[in-house]
Amino acid sequence: MTGRVLAFVLALAAAAAGCADIPTAGTPSPVGQSSGAPVASTQPPTPTRPPDEVVLTFAGDVHFAERTTKLLDDPATAFGPIAEVFTASDLALVNLETAVTTGGTAEPKRYLFRAPPSAYDAVKAAGIDAVSIGNNHSLDYGRVGLADTLKHAEHAGVPTFGAGLDAAGAYAAWITEVNQTRIAVLGISQVHELETSWNATDSRPGVAHARDVTRSVAAVKAARQQADFVIVFMHWGKEGNQCPTAEMKSFAQKLADAGTDLIVGTHAHLLQGDGWLGGTYVAYGLGNFLWWWNDANSNDTGVLRVTLRAAKITDTEFLPAHISRETGQPIPVTGAEASRISAKFAGLRDCTGLAAARQ
């Protein structure tokens, strides 16, 4: 991973400490000193950001079930303090691992997740700009549930990508412009459970799926023609495996060859490694994030922060966090715990085949 590993809470704390005793204009002069002239401020000016700089933040799987359901009693605080990372960035994205519906019929699978429409209120309050629904839970309550998920998102003003009312909608990129940079984002699933009935077709709602390689590659190429920077949010891998599979690596190469600049993955419930695949930056897995189940083996998490200049990646940072056993919220960590999780994430590159720097 290029760049530095940073615990954002330490940075915030340092910034606050550094400004605590700075005098400002209009502060009364000490006794014995003339107060006839204005007192000049010694506070340094706020640095001016380059007009083409863009800060992106990404996190893993989010849903509201079991212990996280009650967080929707107050959607404004559902994500807790880590929301500050999202609100401080220019564009924030997560994987919404649930159908947003109160209806529909349960699909024939073991794990089923659904959340009320207030889930989108929580997402917006946290500063998250759009969500991927190209995953193996957006149709947990069938096509009625998917239609509700899309309807509630539109009503809440939260863009979604990765699933749609037909293949054209599912494989379409969400496109936004930030600081002179036009960004396209796609969501694609590579999870095989129920894939033949869940994948979107020309006449059927569903998810964008990697099983249709031709359509997936075409979607990236189309996005490349419309945007300066292309992101693919993948849902893939083997659950409980911290290393990417051969299938993931093969598909990542196809995405890179088609013109993807950045690939971000979820689904395995564990952090997976990151690095460079030629000129494409890949973070294979960001793990659980706001999560229903307390599992000590999968509670390490964090936020990936990527900085662009002129639509090129100039820096990447991993901001470590740990999922609370009580609330299921991702809590920023500092000190030894931050060092442990950051070192763990950095070490996961060993089994990815990715390079430490752009090739």
**Would you write out the chain's pLDDT as a tens digit for each of its 359 residues?**
444 433 443 443 333 333 333 333 333 333 333 334 444 556 666 678 899 999 999 999 999 999 999 999 999 999 999 999 999 999 999 999 999 999 999 999 999 999 999 999 999 999 999 999 999 999 999 999 999 999 999 999 999 999 999 999 999 999 999 999 999 999 999 999 999 999 999 999 999 999 999 999 999 999 999 999 999 999 999 999 999 999 999 999 999 999 999 999 999 999 999 999 999 999 999 999 999 999 999 999 999 999 999 999 999 999 999 999 999 999 999 999 999 999 999 999 999 999 999 99
Q: For position 28, what pLDDT does the model report? A: 32
Q: Is the dihedral of CA 297, 286, 273, 188 positive or negative?
A: positive
Residue 240 region, left (φ>0) first, then alpha (ψ -120 to 50), else beta?
left
The domain limits of the chain are: 51-351
Identify the bridge partners of residue 131 per DSSP, sorted by sequence position: 94, 160
Q: For position 217, what pLDDT does the model report? A: 98
Question: Exposed/middle/buried for 148, CB within 10 Å: 0-12, 13-18, 19+?
Answer: buried
Burial 156-177, CB ≥16 within 10 A → b, else e? bebebbbbbeebebbbbbbebe
Which three-class secondary structure state does DSSP give residue 41?
coil
Contact (CB, 8 A) for 131 and 218: no
Please tell me the pTM assigned to this model.
0.88
Q: For position 48, what pLDDT does the model report? A: 85
> CB-side exposure of 10: number of CA atoms within 13 Å?
13
For 280, other C-beta atoms within 10 Å of its C-beta total 24
Q: For position 46, what pLDDT does the model report? A: 65
Q: For position 20, what pLDDT does the model report? A: 34
Of 123, 127, 122, 44, the closest CA to residue 88 belongs to 127
CATH number, domain 51-351: 3.60.21.10
Which three-class secondary structure state does DSSP give residue 166?
coil
